[in-house]
Amino acid sequence: MTGFSYRGGVLNAESVPLPRIAEAVGTPVYVYSSAVLAERFERFRRALSGLDATICYALKANDALAVVRTLADLGAGADVVSEGELAIARAAGVPAQKTVFAGVGKSRAEMEAGIGAGILQFNVESLPELEALDQVARAMGRKAPVALRINPDVDARTHAKITTGKSENKFGVPIDEAMEAARRAVGCAGIDLVGLAVHIGSQLTDIEPFRAAFAKMVDLAMAVRAAGMPLKRLDLGGGLGLSYAEEAPPTPEAYGAMVKEVTRPLGLPLLFEPGRHLVGEAGMLLTRVLYVKAGRSRRFVIVDAGMNDLIRPTLYDAHHAMLPVAEPGEEDHLERVDVVGPICESGDVFAEQRPLPPVSSGALLAIGTAGAYGSVMASYYNARPPAAEVMVKGDRFAVIRPRATIEEMIGRDRLPEWLAPPKRSRSSA
Ligand SMILES: *Cc1c(COP(=O)(O)O)cnc(C)c1O
C-alpha cells in the first residue's frame, strides 16, 4: 500500500510514525496520505488519457476540505449531492464549471444554489424533479444545464445497499422512458439538455456491469442525438471498487480501456464521478486498544474507535484490514479475536474472528482503507464526538478536522423556554 508502510518496526503514514500522531492528537484519529490521493488521481487520469474527460470527485466519499482541496489542486472537479457539499467544493476552490450536482432529492433551495453558482450540470433523476428545476430556473431568469440520469436496469453485483442501477432502486429515469424524458427536457424553457448520466453502484469489482451499462448509454445517446436532440457530454458516474480483502476490482487501466472501446462510436466528451477509488486507500483510522477481554468463547479486543467513527462494517458487513502499529514479529503466533468498539450495540464490531498477533491494552491499531465513506458517516452516537482527522505530507502532518470538544457538542443544543436551566450542582464532599 503506497503511503502506509512499516519503517523500523513502526507503521508510518508517508514519513510520519503513527504513534507521533496518536500522541499529538489523541485517538481515534483518521490519517490521510496526500501522496496516495495524488497517486490515485493521477493514475485514474492517465488511464483516461486520449479521451476528452472531466473527472469530478464525488465528495460524498470524503468531504474534508483538505482532501477536496488536494484533489482540486490536481485538477479534479466535484460531484456534489447537497448544498453543503456544493459549498465545500466552492470553498476548496473547485471551479463551478467543473461541478456536477447529483442526487435523487434536490430541494428548490439547492437548485437555486447550484444555478446561482453557475455549475456545469444538474443530474436530474425524475420528471417531477425536472419540472421543479425548470420552474426554479425560469424564476431566476436562467436556463439550468441538465443531464438526465438514467437507470439502465443493470445489476452491479455489489452489496445490496450500494447498488443503484436496477429498476427496483430509487435512482434515475427508467431507460425505456428516457427518450420521452429527453423530449420533455428539451421542451422546458428553463432547461438546457446537455447530456445523459449513469451510475450503477459503488464498490464494483467486476468490469462487465460497467460495460453493459455504458453500452446501453451509448446506444441511448445515439438515439437521442438521432432524434434531433444534440448532447454535449456523457456522464459515466463512479463506482470503481477497491480491494478491502480479497476482491480484485478492475484496474483503472482496464476500466479506461473498456470505456474507450465502448464509447468510441459516440465521440462525445465524457465525465466521471469517482469517489471511493480516489480516497479509500488514502486513509486509515488509528485507534488504541482499551482492553483485551477474554469472553467465554471469544477474545475481544476493545478499541477506542466505534461505529460512530466508522460504520461500514456494521452497515455493509465491510471488511477492513487491522494493522498493529508495532510491526508483528515473524514468530508472533496469531490468535483469532473480535475487534470491537465501545458503543452500546452488539453491531459495533470492526472485525470478527480475525487472526491478529497478541495485542495488549495501550497498543495502537490502524484500520485500513478507511478514507472513503468513513468520516463522512460519523455521528455523535453515545455522545461521542467523532474522530479527529489528520493529513500527512512527507514528514509533516496537520490536523485538518479537530475532534469536537464535549462543550461544543453540548453547545449545539438549546433548551426550550419552558425548561429552566438546571442549577449547577456542587458535588457534596
Ligand atoms: C456515490 C456516487 C458516486 C461515487 O461513487 P463511488 O463508488 O464512491 O465512486 C458517483 N456518482 C453518484 C451519482 C453517486 O451517487
Write the CATH number for 66.
Answer: 3.20.20.10
pLDDT band at 393 (very low <50, low <70, confident <90, very high): very high
Residue 388's φ and ψ, nearest 5 degrees, are -70, 165
The string of DSSP codes covering 104-135 is S---HHHHHHHHHHT-SEEEE-SHHHHHHHHH
The pLDDT of residue 166 = 84
Which structural domain range is residue 183 located in?
Answer: 34-276
Selected residue with higher pLDDT from 331 and 287: 287
Q: How many domains does the chain have?
A: 2
pLDDT > 50? residue 203: yes
Same structural domain for residues 10 and 49?
no
pLDDT band at 219 (very low <50, low <70, confident <90, very high): very high
Same structural domain for residues 270 and 284?
no
pLDDT > 60? residue 165: yes
pLDDT > 60? residue 429: no
C-alpha 8 chain-centroid distance: 33
The overall average pLDDT reported for the chain is: 96
Same structural domain for residues 378 and 343?
yes
pLDDT > 80? residue 322: yes
Burial class (CB in 10 A: 0-12, 13-18, 19+), 334: exposed
Same structural domain for residues 169 and 304?
no
pLDDT band at 342 (very low <50, low <70, confident <90, very high): very high
The pLDDT of residue 167 = 82
Per-residue model confidence as pLDDT tens digits over 269-292? 999 999 999 999 999 999 999 999
Same structural domain for residues 232 and 91?
yes
The pLDDT of residue 295 = 84
277 in ligand 1 pocket by Cβ < 6 Å? Answer: yes
Same structural domain for residues 173 and 296?
no
Same structural domain for residues 22 and 39?
no
Same structural domain for residues 24 and 38?
no
Same structural domain for residues 264 and 139?
yes
Average pLDDT for 221-244: 97
Q: Of how many residues is the chain composed?
A: 429
The pLDDT of residue 428 = 54
pLDDT band at 2 (very low <50, low <70, confident <90, very high): low
- Of 86, 6, 88, 62, whose CA–CA distance to 389 is shortest? 62
pLDDT band at 427 (very low <50, low <70, confident <90, very high): low
pLDDT band at 10 (very low <50, low <70, confident <90, very high): very high
pLDDT > 70? residue 257: yes
Cα separation, 43 vs 59, whole angstroms: 19
The pLDDT of residue 52 = 98
- Of 372, 392, 296, 292, whose CA–CA distance to 339 is shortest? 292
Pocket perturbation via mutation, ligand 1, pick of 41, 55, 60 by most ligand atoms within 8 A of CB? 60
Three-state DSSP at 417 gives coil
> 177 C-alpha vs ligand 1 centroid, how far in Å?
23
276 in ligand 1 pocket by Cβ < 6 Å? Answer: yes
The pLDDT of residue 224 = 98
Domain edge (last residue) among 229, 255, 276: 276
pLDDT band at 182 (very low <50, low <70, confident <90, very high): very high
149 in ligand 1 pocket by Cβ < 6 Å? Answer: no
Same structural domain for residues 226 and 92?
yes
The pLDDT of residue 1 = 44
Domain edge (last residue) among 260, 276, 292: 276
40 in ligand 1 pocket by Cβ < 6 Å? Answer: no
For the chain, what percent of residues have pLDDT higher than 90? 92
Same structural domain for residues 235 and 383?
no
Average pLDDT for 64-92: 98
Please pick, among 160, 294, 344, 429, the residue that the annotation labels catalytic: 344
Within a domain: residue 119?
A: yes
Asked about 188 being catalytic, the answer comes back as no
